[in-house]
Every structure is written in C-alpha cells, then in structure tokens.
Structure 1
Amino acid sequence: MDMGEMGKNLAGRLWDWAGEGWTEAVLHVSATDRWRSFDAWTDAPDPEHPSSLMDRLHGIIPRDAPLAVYEVVLRADGTYRFASSSEVSTLSPARLVIDPAVRCPNHPVPGMPRPAAAEPTGQPTDPGVLREVGALVTEFADRYTAITGHAPEWEPGRTEEEIAAAEARIRARLPEDLRALYRLVGRDTPESGLLGYYAHDSLEELVERYCDGPPGSYGGVAEERPLDDADVVFDAAPPGRIKRLLRNDWWVTFGGNHSGEMIAVDLDPAEHGRHGQVLEVGDILGVPRYLAGSVTAMLTEIVTELRANRVTHQEGDPRLDVAAAFHQYPYREHRHILHGVADLNLAAIVTDLEQPDLVQAFYLNDGNHIDLAVLESLTSLREIGVHRTDTVTPTVSNLPELESLTMDAATVDLAPLTGHPTLWDLKLANLTHPVELDVLATLPRLTRLCIAGLDVPDIEDLGRLSALRVVTVDATQLDRLLSSGCPLPKLAAVRINGRVLLREAVEFRRNLTGTRVQLGETAGTLPAPAPDNERQDGR
C-alpha cells in the first residue's frame, strides 16, 4: 500500500469536507483490529460536523492497512502533512497504552489456571451419566415424535475419539453430561427444544468459538474495553455461583438461541457454584445469567414439562415450546438512574426500593446538594455516578463494595473518601476549586483516575498514588507532570483529553517511556481546485 497516496487521498477528502472560511483543518483516523474511528475539525467559525465526512472516507484506508492512527493537517493553501504511528492507540482523545497486559480489576488476561476438574483424563464418558442422559434424550425423542408426527432431525452422535480430539483443542475435559449429549446427538440442527429455547452446536463450532480470540470470550458478557474505559464488573444472580469476571478462560460456549444469547458450561465456578453449570452469556446481558446446575438439569426440566403436557407446538415449527423453569430465571437489575434529583425526595426513593440488595449501580443527575450517605443502605453498590450537581459529599465509608465513583459537580469534599478500601476508579469533572491529592494517596486500590480539565496545583503528587495505573489528564497537565521531574507511578495507560496532534502524542509517549516511538510523516500539496465555472460546466 502506498502511504503517500493514502495521505493525498485523505487530504483531498478533508479539503472537500472543510467548506469555507478556514485556514487549517485536521483529520484523525484510528484503525484498530475491530473498527475504524475518526474525528475532524477546522478553525472556521461554523465548521461542518465530522459525521458528514464519513461517506467521503469510505474505502480510503483499506482493511489491510497497518493498525495505527493516521493524521492529516491541511492548510488552506493546499499544503498538508500526513503522519501515522502504531504506538499511539487512538487520537481525539489520545490514548497511550504503555503496558497492554495490565487489566482493571476482574478483567483477567488469557492464561487463567485450568481448574482441576477440567483436566483432560483420556477416559471415556462416565457410563452412569451416559445412561441417565440417554434415557432423557430418548424420552424427549419419543414424545417429540408423538407430538409432531416425525422424529427429531438431529445430527448423529459423535464418537469418544471425536470428543477427545475437541477437548485436546480447547485443553479441557467437558462435563460428563455434555460429553454424553454429544455422544447421542451431534448437533440439534433444527432447534427441536431439547434444551428449551436453546440448541447445542457441533463440536467443531464449539472448538472454533473457543479458539476465536481469547479463550472463553466468544459471545461473552462484554467486549474487552481499553484500560481507560473498562467497566466495573457486577455480580451475577444468584450470588456466589458465578465468578465475578468480565470473561473466564473456562466458560465454554456450546450453543445458543441464535438471537444473540449463547449458552456455556462453566468449568470454573464460584464458591457456591457447580462444575458444569450452564450460563447464558451475551453482550446485551452485561453479566452471565445462571440457567441451570448442569446440562442434565436442563434436560430433566424439559422432560418433566413434557410429562405434564406443558408444551405447545405450531404446525410446521420444528421446535417444541416447553415452559421450562430455567427460561424464567430472573435477570438481575444492576442499575438505578434518577434524573432531576434536585426535585426528588431521594431518601424516600431509596427507602422504597423493592429489592435494594440487587442494586449495584446508582446514577444521580441534576442535583443541588447531595450527600452520598443517603445511599448507604444499598450495601451491594459497586458504582455511583453523580452528574451536573452543585455540591457532593461522598460519604461512602459504609459502602464496602464500592469500586467506581464519578463526581461531576462544582464542589466536592474529598475528605470522606479517606482510606476507602475498595475504590479503584475515580472520575472528577467540572470542579470549580483546586483539587488536592492528599486524600487520594490514602486509597490503597486507586487504579484509575480522571482529573482532566481540573486545577491540580501539586500534580507531581500523582507519584504518591502507588496503585495508580491509568490516568486521564489534559495536555497541559501532562506537560506539567513530565516537566516536574518527579517519579511517576507505574502507569499502564494515559488518556489525554482534548484535541492533541499526533506529534504531541508521540512526544508524550517518548517522555513517559524513555524509548523511541515510531512516527512516519510525509508532506504534499493538493492540486489547485478548478474554477467554479469549470466545475459547474463539468470541464
């Protein structure tokens, strides 16, 4: 790919978009392994919105282009500078990932130890389990045939050798009842209802999904996000059965309902869970949803409902619609959002919550004076967000699970946060007074901090925050911090809010890491546009 030609094409599209009345226009494009994102601006008094540039950029950066950030700085005389770097993750805002192996709490990296119960043994499927599952599958098939007039069109069962080969690929032994199901039914192609709303896929699909990206992430509860934007991970219901993790190497997806929800066997359960329990996972859920203690339990529920004739079937539909209990297992509502808090009786609202122990995140918007002590009865809270508020007093000492706190307010008294044992994520915004870092130095788990745009007189004191790994600042703050010469915490990522040019971002990275940073640059001049009358005449 000709980088000079790509830069020229991008500059041309930027020129077409920029309109009139400007002297400088800038385009940023970030190309990652998952998406292309962009931002653009000019110094015109009334610039066009960047979204109108989207169609003009289509196809200019090919899919095989290096994963990097690209920048065009264009002058009104047609001269431009095109630059790229693979060592800056994004621009607008600039993200500098220094140690990509570092994760926020409960966001494990691949390579988790294999549980002992998942150790491959080379032994055939347990005969007792095979008989039990076989009896359930046979009874389902008989009742299915009686209701529909034909046998279920399942793919043939798989051999022990085929199952062992699949296990060798994923480096784990499947639960005995899932092995037994594969021995009897290779795949529920028509989605017969054998597992209710779900159907198991082939062994080949199981392996392909497990090996597609980090193990245990296919159809996962959430896409892994950058360090500066990673979410708090909430507890799944019922508590204590599923480990509180964004993903787990040992969640093995084996089917789904082809509507976005996948099912997985859990080979690494929490203290009160069970090896082989079945989870529903999918991006729309936020956390895994517990379905059943095992594949056998799911089969048993389905057959029990068939025996009681609690089933419906529509002519021509290959699936039996069975009202199994695991379909109704409740989702846990994690978040509670209140707008216009200044006009509400917040204490009464909190008191009247029907299931306060289920609330793990509370967001308060548009308030006057808020003392977070009003939330202290919600002992499961892990995240609090306060936005567009005059004054906040963060009395959270009686919230032992709190991990994330956002305070967007004119005035915040940080003293009540002193020594909080679990808070690892703190975002401060729009404060109208100086921010002292003394209190923050007492937070033993403070991993991520946002102070961009604030007055932080002693910003060099960030070096005292020993647990800090991710910081969001503005360019002026970062320049002051680096110029201070004071020791910095062992940062894994830095986010620079505001518009930062690529040369600046590269220089910041050089200063943070003390190493060379790749920056490719070319320059050029766009041909002068044709006079208006020639363009109108098509000449």
Structure 2
Amino acid sequence: MAERLRTWAGEGWSEAVAQVAVTGSWHSLDSWTDGPEGSSSGSILDHMYGVFPDNAPRAAYEVRLRADGSYRVATSPDIDTLFPARLVFDPDFRYPGHPLPGMPRPAAADPTGLPTDPAVLAGVSALVEEFAQHHTRITGHAPRWEPGRTEEEIAEAESRIRARLPEDLRALFRLVGRDAAESGLLGRYSHGSLEDLVEQYWDGLPGASAEPEQDCPLDEEDVVLEAFPPGRVKRVSRNDWWVTFGDNGDGEAIVVDLDPGPAGRSGQVLEYGRNVDEPPRYVAGSVTEMLSAVVNALREDRYKFDEGDPRLRADVDFHRDRTPNRFHSFPDVPELDVRAAVAELDEPALIQSAGLSNEGAIDLGGLAPLVSLRRLAVHRAGSVRAAVSELAALESLSITASNVDLSALAGHPVLWDLTLAGVGHPVDLSVLATLPRLTRLSLAGLDVPEIERLGELRSLRMLTLDAAQLHQLLARDTRLPHLAALSITGHVVLSDVVKFRRRLRDAPVRFAEFTGRLDSVVM
C-alpha cells in the first residue's frame, strides 16, 4: 500500500494518506496529500488494484506515508460500526418511514387454510374467459398461458411468505399459472409464477421496497413522500406486506398491498421500480379492478395490436396521470419574489418537494400555500429567513446560504431533518432545541460557538460534523448518548475516528497500528 501510495501521490508533499474498506469487494474511501492539488497521478483505485485478494479480511485499512519513506498503517475489523468518516452506534436505527423487517402482519392477511372464495373465483373466471375471447378475436390465437395452479400449491406459497394472498389474486393463479407471453391480461403488466412470488418476497429484505437498498441506510434515507391519491398507501419506503407478483418487462414491478393506508384497501395494487421515482405508485384498487378495466377497454375496441408484436395492449392507464407537479424547482432569477412565483403555480397544494436557488434574499414564508410540502432545499442563497411555521407538513429542510435567520423555525412540530451549509456567521443552537422531532442534523463547516449544546437535543440520532467540530466537542467533554450514527466530513484519519468513538460512548474498539519504512517493516 505504501509503495503504491507513493507512486500515486506525485511530488511536493510531506504526507500522503490512503484509506481502503474491504467489504467483500474493496474500494477506496478516500486519499489525499498535503501537497499541490492535482499533483497525484490518476485514480488511487488503479494504483491499489490487486493489493487485496478476494479473501482479504473484512476491515478498514489506512496507510499514512511520509516523504522520507516512513509510514504508519492502521486497521480495524469493526467495519460495520467504525468506518473512516462514519461511526455507527445503533445499526438498527431507521429514519421515519423506513421500517426494519418484522412489521406486524395485518389481520386481513392472516392465513385461514380455506380455499379461494367461490364467488370471487367465479367473477375472476368470467373476466379471464372474456379476455381470452377478445384476445383470440383480435390476435387470431388464444392466449399462451401456463396452466392454473392448485389450491395446495397456492397454500404452500402462502406458507412460505407467512400471509394469505388476496382472494382475486388467488383466483388468478387458479386460472392462469403464469403469463410468460405477456398476453395483456393485466394491461402493460404480466403476473409471474408462484415460485417467482416467493423468491422475490425473500430477495433481500422481506416484502418489497420502493427504494434501492443502501450499504448504510443512515447515509441516504430520505423523507418518504405521499403516494397519490393521498391516504391509500402507507408512507413507508418498504413494507413486509407488499408482495411482488408481476412486472411490465421494463423495470417496474407490481405488488399487492396487504398493509394499506387508512383510505386504502387490502389487496390494492402498487408499482415500484426503475422509472418510479418515489413513492410507490398506486395502480388499482385490486387485481379484479385491473382485469375489469382491461376487459371493458377490449369490449369498446380500445387497444393496440401490431402483427409484429405479439402483445395485446388494452387502452387503460391505471392512474398514471397522478400528481405531475409533486416536485417543483423555482426559477433561478435575481431577487426571486417567492410569493409571486407560488401564485403562478397550478395546484400548489400537491407539491411535496421543492428547490430554490437564488443569490438574493429569500423569505420562506412565501411558500405557505404549499401545504403538502415535505422536503425543501435552498441553494446558493444570500440570506434566508426560515419562516416555515405555516408549512405544517415540512419534514426536511436544507439551506445553503451566507446568512440564515432560524428564529422563525422555532417549535416546528414535524421537522426531523435539517442541513445548514455555507453560513458565514456563528450558528446559535438554541432554536434547534425547540424542535421536538429533530432526528438528523448536519452542521459541518460552520462556526458553532456553543457546540456542546448538541447534547441537549434529545431526539437527535444522526449528526454530521467536520473533524475540527468533533475535536471541539471532545475538548468540552460532550457525550452524545442518543446518537445512532455520526458522520465526519473532510479528511480524518482512522486513529482519530477510534478516539472519537471511545470518548463519545466509551465503547471498545478493535484497532491495530504498526509502523515501517518502504525498505523494511518494524512491528
């Protein structure tokens, strides 16, 4: 590592540092020198390639090389809780709306051992038969479906996922075991097999997720927005009781929702995947509703079919016209008049996420008509007055500005995520102590004179600081017993990360250091 670091570092430095994480596939977390910027040659990844074999122990490694050839290597196997630039104290903590596995099973999904409801089976059978007739009339051949499954096979799949499927989905499987040829029975979607259903349920976390899984969820998880129509889908990023049963062949999957929101119904169908930003899309109230919409369209000859494409597509949209203005970026114009810009919006009450970028003065009180706003980011502002008391739904606020007046932020009941950056004056933490749900806070790079007051923020679980701020906390013997994780920005060496962990929590850490020179090693 030291030899390759020296080759990478170039010239004009007195110390160079490389930090590497081995987590199954290794990657460099960071590398830097105290020499001229741009003097290094290429990517540190290229220089370190081949140093760590595939079976290298899972650990964090660091080498600090002096220009005279002496070096110090540090390593720790506690990579899940001790990472350069991140300390994790509670790996099971999750932000609001991001539940861990183990969600209680809804009563409607309790296994009963009964066969499929005969009335539901008859209704679904009539729709499937009529679709087959229309399909044959339009395409010239019957749908190429796999045979239906038995009650015993369905019950076996249910025992694997520990839940009873909705009656109409059970009925669909009884009649059509799998629509591998994408006949169009469910419009642009097709259902897979029972085996697919079970496999997808247990792929990663149980159930389904509307967001990609992160290596460390505490780094990336965000506010979960409301699906449209409001109230039908629980505002969560994943759910043990979202059961994937099909897809559209273009990166989106469909689930039956066994754990709906207060205005929803068990068995409603949702969509998530590559082209679904967030949250999951509401598709239909049930599988039966999807089948009925398709059959009704074919009755009225509303469909698309091309001899070169074997798929029949009924002209149904399944609520794809929902909340087109859920996200909004305000124009970056000098001295933006926020109130006037909001007045020009169509349906401002539907906007849940917004961005402002303006070098002038911004009063966030002008956003008051955005009553559904949950996430707001202000970039490159000259000054900001954080008057958000009328934004009762606001959960996440990020402000990058030279001057920030936080006084109007006091007492906000639901704000749990706050990032401040670029502030050119001392930041007073007293207002933050009035936020009852403040869970995540980033103050890196700011002047916080009374930084020890962070210990008063009892709901704070995730904190981002720079190394200098952390040294300041330690100098004042501040403990943060409620933190789930701490991120440290900028360049920080592994020995300091270990020191921080030991001091903040008096926690044991496995840690080793040794020194050497490029021509010899001294343990």
- 1:337 maps to what in 2? 329
Please say if residues 237 and 289 of structure 1, whose CA atoms lie closer than 8 Å, have aligned partners that are also in contact.
yes
CA shift at 1:297, angstroms? 0.6
The answer (yes or no) to whether the contact 2:84–2:494 under 8 Å persists in 1 is: no
Indicate which of 413, 420, 424 corresponds to 1:428.
Answer: 420
Distance 1:484 1:314, change over 3 A: same
Per-residue deviation, residues 438-477 of structure 1 (Å, max 9, x unmatched):
1111111111111112111111111111111111111122
Classify the secondary structure of the residue corresponding to 1:186: strand
1:285 to 277, 280, 285: 277
Match of 2:213 in 1: 223
Cα pair distance change 1:58/1:139, threshold 3 Å: farther
Q: Which moves more between the two structures, 477-486 or 252-261?
A: 477-486
1:126 and 2:117 matched: yes
Q: State yes or no: 1:443 paired with 2:435.
A: yes
1:119–1:172: 8 Å Cα contact kept in structure 2?
A: yes
Say which of 384, 390, 393 aligns to 1:392.
384
Q: 1:76 aligns with which of 54, 67, 78?
A: 67
Distance in 2 separating the partners of 1:278 and 1:388: 41
1:228 Cα deviation (Å)? 4.1
Q: Percent identity?
A: 57
Q: Which runs of 5+ in 2 are unaligned?
A: none
CA separation in 1, counterparts of 2:57 and 2:151?
44
- Aligned position for 1:298: 290
Q: Distance in 1 between matches of 2:288 and 2:157?
A: 21
Conservation of the 8 A alpha-carbon contact between 1:236 and 1:332: no
The residue number in structure 2 matching 1:309 is 301
1:493 is the counterpart of 2:474: no
What do you get for the CA RMSD once the two structures are aligned?
Answer: 2.3
Hey, what does 2:32 align to over in structure 1? 41
Answering whether residue 196 of structure 2 is matched by residue 205 of structure 1, we say yes
Structure 1 pair 133/293, CA: closer, same or farther in 2 (3 Å)?
same
SS in 1 for 2:127: helix
- Tell me if structure 2 keeps the 8 A contact 1:210–1:252: yes
Deviates more, 1:334-343 or 1:449-458: 334-343
Q: Verify the 8 A CA contact 1:290 1:329 in the aligned structure 2.
A: no
- The answer to whether the Cα contact below 8 Å between 1:30 and 1:89 also exists between their aligned partners in 2 is no
C-alpha contact 1:469 1:489 (8 A) present in aligned 2: no
Which has the larger displacement, 24-33 or 108-117?
Answer: 24-33
Displacement of 1:371 in angstroms is: 0.8
1:470 paired residue number: 462
How far is 1:487 from its partner? 4.6
Who is 2:16 aligned against? 25
Cα deviation, residue 513, structure 1:
2.1
1:18-417 → structure 2 map (5 Å cutoff):
18-32=9-23, 36=27, 38-48=29-39, 52-58=43-49, 60-62=51-53, 64-88=55-79, 94-217=85-208, 220-224=210-214, 226-283=217-274, 284-326=276-318, 328-417=320-409
2:374 and 2:313 mapped to 1: Cα distance? Answer: 38
Q: How far does residue 44 in structure 1 lie from its aligned partner after superposition?
A: 2.4
Give, as a single letter, the amino acid of the residue that structure 2 aligns with 1:124: P
Change (3 A) 1:422 1:121: same
Note closer, same or farther for the CA distance 1:34–1:264 as it changes in structure 2 (3 Å cut).
Answer: farther
Deviations 1:410-447 (A, max 9, x none): 11111111111111111111212111211111111111
Q: Is the 8 A contact 1:403 1:423 kept in 2?
A: yes
Tell me by how many angstroms 1:526 deviates: 4.1
Equivalent in 446, 454, 460 of residue 454 of structure 1 = 446
CA distance in 2, matches of 1:512, 1:342: 45
Deviates more, 1:189-198 or 1:509-518: 509-518
1:151 is paired with a residue whose SS is coil
- 1:228–1:472: 8 Å Cα contact kept in structure 2? no
Give the length in aligned residue pairs: 518
Q: Distance in 2 between matches of 1:379 and 1:479?
A: 41
Counterpart secondary structure, 1:318: strand
Q: How far apart, CA to CA, are the structure 2 residues paired with 1:123 and 1:464? A: 55
Cα distance change of structure 1 residues 300 and 403 upon mapping to structure 2, 3 Å threshold: same
SS at match of 2:318: helix
Deviation of 1:386 (Å): 1.3
How far apart are the structure 2 equivalents of 1:59 and 1:298?
53
Shift of 1:375: 0.4
Residues 338 and 363, structure 2, Cα contact 8 Å, conserved in 1? no
Match of 1:484 among 476, 479, 492: 476
Q: 1:34 to 1:248 in 2, by over 3 A?
A: farther
Q: What amino acid does structure 2 have at the position aligned with 1:480?
A: Q
The 5 Å alignment of 1:506-517 reads 506-517=498-509
Contact between 1:28 and 1:72, CA under 8 Å: does it hold in 2? Answer: yes
Describe the shift of the 1:138–1:319 C-alpha distance in structure 2 as closer, same or farther (beyond 3 A): same
The 10-residue stretch of structure 1 (484-493 or 372-381) with the greater mean CA deviation from structure 2: 484-493
Partner of 1:505: 497
Q: Secondary structure at the match of 2:334?
A: helix
d(CA) in 1 for partners of 2:365 and 2:42? 43
In structure 2, do the counterparts of structure 1 residues 276 and 419 end up closer, same or farther at CA, with 3 Å as the change threshold? same
CA drift of 1:399 comes to 0.9
Distance 1:144-1:49 versus aligned 2 partners, 3 A rule:
farther
Partners of 2:52 and 2:358 in 1: CA distance: 42
* C-alpha contact (below 8 Å) 1:470/1:494 kept by paired residues: yes
Q: Structure 1 CA distance, aligned partners of 2:415 and 2:184?
A: 45
Q: Tell me how far apart the structure 2 counterparts of residues 270 and 49 of structure 1 sit (CA, whole Å).
A: 54
**CA 1:527–1:198: 2 relative to 1, 3 Å:** farther
Distance in 2 (alpha carbons) for counterparts of 1:375 and 1:315? 52
Greater mean deviation of Cα atoms: 234-243 or 470-479: 470-479
| Distance of aligned partners of 1:92 and 1:469 in 2 relative to their CA distance in 1, 3 Å threshold | closer
Contact 1:311–1:321 under 8 Å retained in 2: yes
Distance 1:490 1:188, change over 3 A: same
Distance apart, 1:229 and its partner CA: 3.3
Please, which moves more after superposition, 479-488 or 446-455?
Answer: 479-488
Q: 1:509 to 1:489 in 2, by over 3 A?
A: closer
Q: Taking structure 2 as the reference length, what is the TM-score of the superposition?
A: 0.93
- How high is the TM-score relative to the length of structure 1? 0.90
Q: Residue 304 of structure 1: CA displacement? A: 0.9
